[in-house]
Every structure is written in C-alpha cells, then in structure tokens.
Amino acid sequence: MDDNIIGLLESLVVLLVNSKFSEIVARNENGRLSQSEIEAALREYPGIISLPPESAYRSVYVYDIYDGATGARKSEFDLWYDGEVSDLTLSAEIKKNSSGELVITIEDIHVL
C-alpha cells in the first residue's frame, strides 16, 4: 500500500471525524458531493463517527483506473462509528493534479 495514498485518506478521514466539512470543500476534496450532502451522509448513519485505529488504513481497498497521465486510483474505506468498523464506506479517487501532486476527492459516502 502506498504511504502517500494512506496519508491522503487519513487526512480526509480526520477532517470528516472532526466535522471540518468547509475545509474539505475549500481543499476541493468534496468531489461531486456538496458540503450538506457530506454532512447528511455522516449524520444519517446511526452512531457517532470516530477515528479508526492506524491499522485500519492498511485494509483500504485500492484499485487502479486506466489513466496513465494522472495515475488515477479509486479507494474504498469503511468508516468507523462508535469505535467500531461500520458498513458506511468512503469511496474516493486519488490522482495526480496538473502539478503532479497526488490529490484525493470524495466520490461517495454510502453503505456497501
């Protein structure tokens, strides 16, 4: 697993857990979801979102998308609620921006 991808994912999850939704939008990491859609997806799931243990990031599912220019990948990561893994999944895309830096954007937050 690429440590850069884990770092981006971990940073995004910390923002979600700490309800820093406007910061997610300011960083253009919200993807196609609006700030209110992100808030609603997390609020409507029963319980309270919590930080996963460090080891949870090692089980993120990452798969390549055919796009050699951006090195795009998709990831699926189960969010944690009340200190336990849930079936609410953060789907995100990780790719290189025009400057060649890896960036992450939310694709969806949904129950799998």
Q: Indicate the SS3 state at residue 72.
A: coil
Q: What burial class does residue 11 get, using C-beta atoms within 10 Å of its C-beta: 0-12 exposed, 13-18 middle, 19+ buried?
A: middle
Report pTM.
Answer: 0.93
Q: Where are the domains of the chain?
A: 3-111
Best CA proximity match to 5, nearest among 85, 99, 75, 56: 75
pLDDT tens digit at each of 112 positions of the chain? 588 899 999 999 999 999 999 999 999 999 999 999 999 999 999 999 999 999 999 889 999 887 777 889 999 999 999 999 999 999 999 999 999 999 999 999 999 7
Alpha carbon 89 to its chain centroid, in Å, reads: 9
